[in-house]
């Protein structure tokens, strides 16, 4: 992060109001290598841990021989379940917005039981990572095998797990007579839609560096989306005193939800530091990144009943997703289509089936990216069953109220998304029949879909400190895993105070900063941004009160309505030449700094009375080589209604990222398991195909104007996840339009197109 600027105010300094496309304030630090990530903090006495993982999916460790590893020069210890230090019982309830699922959370090296393939069973600690890795290869482990099941299809046939909800999960609410209305409908669509497991694969692997001090205090640099979560976890699981642990995460190289829960490298690094009373770093390998949470596989059945003009009579939807054998992980799968479209009759059901893998976890737009994308393929099928344009079908079923809870929205500019997106894309030129558009040997397809996501906000505290030189710091414990949180905080502080960007420093990712929920759910801009604005407004109010009580102050007779804040000065609105600089006020008041702390909270009553969502309309063009089945996305137009857009530049980048995620979901990304050994096999970036530059087309993002004074104090909804919701479906629908082949199994790979 930049040091606070001490330069004098100049007219050409950067102004950044709401809606300004400000470049990232942390950009220079990232591109020059000054930004440090969790595995880049070092000290002379640092030890390195390498994880040894289980090769079976279920059973017990009968014997683990560490002798050969310990004989390697430079090896300090090999920690297993047999010699680990004492650990405490881990409470289930988390003191944050993100809680673990109901069940028994996994802890590495707790005992001899093996509950999934890839489970960490030993940590080799050495003077270098290379030595630790080599020594790990010398461990001899004898297993007792047990029967296991990693195939979701088999698991769901054997019966579902009991529906024990995760914290914050609500069972889908049905309405009317879904089955009866479906049976009576003249047009019926029935399909089972399938999504393969996906893994997050951020650029930065999970890493934790623990610095041990002689007095027993520890400082942890952790890859996490919430330092408060990591702090709570380490203290609860390993028995550290809360006031002796500090967790920092100044930069995060992507996470996409995988960092919402502490991962096992944090536990192992803390365990090793505690046992050895030394500083220790543990970094996962890319292969080990496939050994923790993932987007779960899903089978979703959708039955749509409609009149011949396409108006919905019935929505019947049920889903089953995977969870682990030890935790009940659940998402919101079947609600999305039923809340989006006008329909009096809906029957919704959702179950989970236990398999012997690690627990799935939140992955960009969890539940929505799965459930809405699969549902929108069914909506496209209904459009063809009725002989209606897919966009027209959605307009005919447009809902003015949220359908599941029968609430009005705080705002919903979805109709404008349809109109502006279709106009920009040129949708009116689309021919309806499949295989009717081509260019030489390539079939061309145009598809579209609706996106919907939650617009959430959580209680957040921010500290604002104005120093004697007129520089401002705003700080909270949230993270920045890539969306531009540093920039957002800086920009809101600048817009609120009138200070130029160069005079403002944003601080985050530190447990010594005020409370903030984990970064995720697209709620950070609304939550942290509202708290930044509130803290800055409170600071300005206190500063003005001090100014007008100073002897000889030109503002002494003024009231709040008479003044403005600009360029580090408090001035009279009707005569801006009259005023005082912020630093002059502090000096005259004999103060080195002025500090305030404020918390912003969502309006609970409003949350109960109205629905809060972001919406989008996505239009996609694909081309398919008819001879070899090679498909490519050639154009995307994504029209998004997300309330107030603070920074169009970084917001657009978030939508681009979501669309790229959707290309992977639709065409390339799937984690394949060999169910004979119970292990994910393509656990590397050579065989797990994340979209690369050549796969990403022109992506045109439209931010539809939407004013919302109720969704959050600053009118922001958040854009981190809406870009993926609906986009994968639009690609699948475009592929049907191009080829005439309706594929209900994502991703749609070449073999499926050629079959």
> What would the two tokens of residue 347 be?
């029957």
Q: Does the annotation count 710 as an active-site position?
A: no
- Cα distance between residue 518 and residue 522, in whole Å: 11
d(CA 531, CA 62): 54
Strand segments, DSSP code E, in 364-508 are 401-402, 407-408, 438-439, 442-454, 460-467, 472-475, 504-507
Whole-Å CA distances, 702 to 368, 526, 648, 654, 675: 21, 20, 10, 12, 44
Q: Which parts of 601-677 are beta strand (E)? A: 613-625, 631-641, 673-674
- Give the integer Cα–Cα distance in Å for 438 and 627: 13
Structure tokens at 234: 């380490």
Q: Which is nearest to 357 in space by CA: 321, 326, 324, 322? A: 324
Q: Is 304 exposed, middle or buried (0-12, 13-18, 19+ CB in 10 A)?
A: buried
Q: Which helix (H) or strand (E) holds 494?
A: helix 485-497
Q: Is the dihedral of CA 578, 582, 583, 589 positive or negative?
A: positive
CA diameter of the chain: 85
Torsion of CA 510, 511, 517, 522, to 10 degrees: 10
What is the distance between the alpha carbons of residues 699 and 630, in angstroms, rounded to a whole number? 20
Distances (CA, A) of 609 to 67, 332, 405, 523, 716: 65, 20, 10, 19, 18
Catalytic residue among 198, 297, 598, 721: 721
- What is the spatial distance between Cα 377 and Cα 317, in angstroms, rounded to a whole number? 13
Quick check: bond before 216 cis, omega within 30?
Answer: no
Sequence-separated (6 or more) residues with CB below 8 Å from residue 439: 623
Sign of the torsion angle spanned by Cα atoms 264, 90, 279, 54: negative
Which one, of 565, 478, 556, lies nearest residue 517 by Cα? 478
Say how far apart CA 13 and CA 503 lie, in whole Å: 9
Q: Are 610 and 410 in contact (CB under 8 A)?
A: yes
Q: Are 451 and 726 in contact (CB under 8 A)?
A: yes
Residue 511 gets which letter from DSSP? T
Ranges of beta strands (E only) in 14-173 are 47-53, 59-65, 75-79, 102-103, 113-114, 120-126, 140-145
CA angle 54, 326, 89 (to 5 degrees): 90
- In the DSSP assignment, the letter for residue 172 is P
Rg, Å, the chain Cα set: 27
Round to whole Å and give the CA distance between 357 and 322.
9
d(CA 486, CA 601): 20
Sheet holding 631-641, edge to edge: 438-439, 442-454, 613-625, 631-641, 698-703
Q: State the CB neighbour count (10 A cutoff) for residue 668.
A: 16
Residue with tokens 């939807």: 317
For 646, counting Cβ atoms within 10 Å of its Cβ (0-12 exposed, 13-18 middle, 19+ buried), the class is buried
Active site residues: 721
């Amino acid at each position: 992060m930049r040091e606070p600027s001490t330069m004098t105010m100049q007219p050409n300094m950067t102004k950044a109001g709401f809606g300004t496309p400000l470049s990232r304030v942390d950009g220079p630090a990232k591109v020059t290598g000054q930004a440090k990530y969790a595995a880049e903090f070092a000290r002379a006495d640092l030890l390195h841990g390498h994880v040894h993982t289980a090769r079976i999916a279920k059973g017990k460790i009968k014997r683990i021989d560490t002798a050969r590893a310990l004989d390697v020069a430079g090896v300090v210890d090999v920690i297993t379940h047999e010699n680990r230090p004492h650990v405490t019982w881990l409470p289930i309830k988390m003191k944050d917005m993100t809680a673990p699922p109901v069940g028994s959370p996994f802890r590495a090296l707790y005992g001899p039981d093996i509950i999934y393939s890839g489970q960490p069973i030993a940590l080799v600690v050495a003077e270098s990572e290379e030595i630790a890795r080599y020594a790990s290869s010398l461990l001899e482990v004898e297993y007792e095998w047990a029967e296991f099941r990693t195939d979701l299809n088999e698991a769901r046939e054997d019966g579902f797990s009991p529906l024990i909800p995760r914290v914050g999960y609500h069972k889908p609410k049905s309405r009317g007579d879904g089955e009866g209305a479906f049976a009576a409908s003249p047009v019926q669509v029935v399909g089972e839609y399938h999504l393969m497991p996906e893994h997050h694969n951020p650029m930065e692997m999970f890493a934790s560096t623990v610095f041990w001090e002689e007095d027993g205090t520890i400082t942890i640099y952790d890859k996490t989306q919430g330092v408060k979560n990591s702090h709570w976890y380490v203290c609860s699981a390993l028995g550290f005193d809360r006031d002796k642990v500090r967790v920092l995460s100044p930069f995060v190289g992507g996470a996409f939800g995988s960092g919402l829960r502490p991962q096992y490298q944090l536990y192992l690094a803390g365990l090793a530091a505690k046992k050895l009373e030394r500083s220790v770093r543990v970094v996962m390998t890319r292969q080990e990144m496939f050994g923790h949470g993932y987007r779960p596989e899903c089978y979703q059945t959708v039955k749509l009943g409609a009149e011949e003009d396409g108006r919905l009579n019935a929505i019947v939807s049920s889903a089953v997703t995977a969870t682990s054998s030890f935790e009940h992980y659940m998402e919101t799968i079947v609600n999305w289509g039923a809340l989006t479209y006008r329909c009096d009759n809906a029957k919704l059901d959702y179950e989970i089936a236990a398999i012997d893998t690690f627990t799935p976890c939140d992955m960009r737009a969890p539940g929505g990216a799965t459930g809405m994308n699969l549902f929108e393929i069914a909506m496209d099928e209904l459009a063809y069953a009725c002989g209606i344009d897919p966009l027209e079908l959605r307009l005919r079923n447009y809902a003015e109220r949220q359908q599941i809870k029968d609430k009005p929205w705080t705002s919903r500019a979805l109709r404008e998304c349809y109109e502006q997106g279709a106009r920009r894309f040129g949708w009116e030129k689309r021919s309806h029949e499949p295989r009717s558009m081509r260019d030489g040997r390539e079939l061309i397809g145009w598809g579209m879909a609706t996106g919907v996501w939650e617009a959430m906000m959580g209680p957040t505290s921010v500290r604002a400190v104005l120093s004697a030189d007129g520089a401002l710091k705003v700080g909270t414990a949230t993270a920045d895993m890539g969306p531009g949180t540093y920039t957002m905080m800086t920009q809101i502080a600048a817009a609120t105070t009138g200070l130029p960007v160069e005079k403002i420093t944003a601080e985050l990712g530190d447990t010594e900063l005020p409370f903030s929920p984990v970064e995720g759910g697209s709620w950070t801009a609304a939550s942290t941004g509202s708290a930044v604005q509130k803290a800055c407004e409170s600071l300005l109010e206190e500063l003005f009160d001090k100014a007008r009580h100073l002897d000889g102050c030109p503002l002494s007779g003024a009231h709040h309505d008479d003044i403005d804040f600009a360029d580090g000065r408090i001035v009279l609105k009707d005569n801006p030449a009259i005023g005082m600089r912020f630093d002059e006020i502090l000096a005259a008041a004999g103060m080195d700094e002025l500090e305030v702390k404020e918390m912003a909270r969502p309006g609970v009553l409003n949350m109960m009375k109205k629905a809060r969502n972001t919406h989008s309309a996505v239009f996609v063009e694909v081309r398919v080589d008819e001879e070899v089945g090679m498909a490519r996305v050639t154009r995307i137009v994504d029209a998004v209604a997300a309330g107030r857009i603070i920074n169009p530049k970084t917001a657009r980048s978030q939508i681009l990222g979501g669309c790229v995620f959707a290309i992977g979901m639709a065409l390339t990304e799937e984690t394949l398991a060999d169910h004979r050994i119970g292990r994910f096999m393509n656990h590397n970036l050579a065989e797990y195909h994340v979209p690369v530059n050549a796969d990403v087309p022109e992506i045109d993002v439209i931010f539809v104007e939407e004013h919302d004074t109720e969704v959050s104090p600053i009118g922001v909804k958040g854009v981190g996840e809406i870009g993926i919701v609906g986009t994968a479906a639009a690609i699948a629908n475009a592929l049907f339009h191009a080829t005439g082949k309706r594929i209900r199994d994502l991703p749609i790979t070449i073999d499926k197109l050629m079959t």
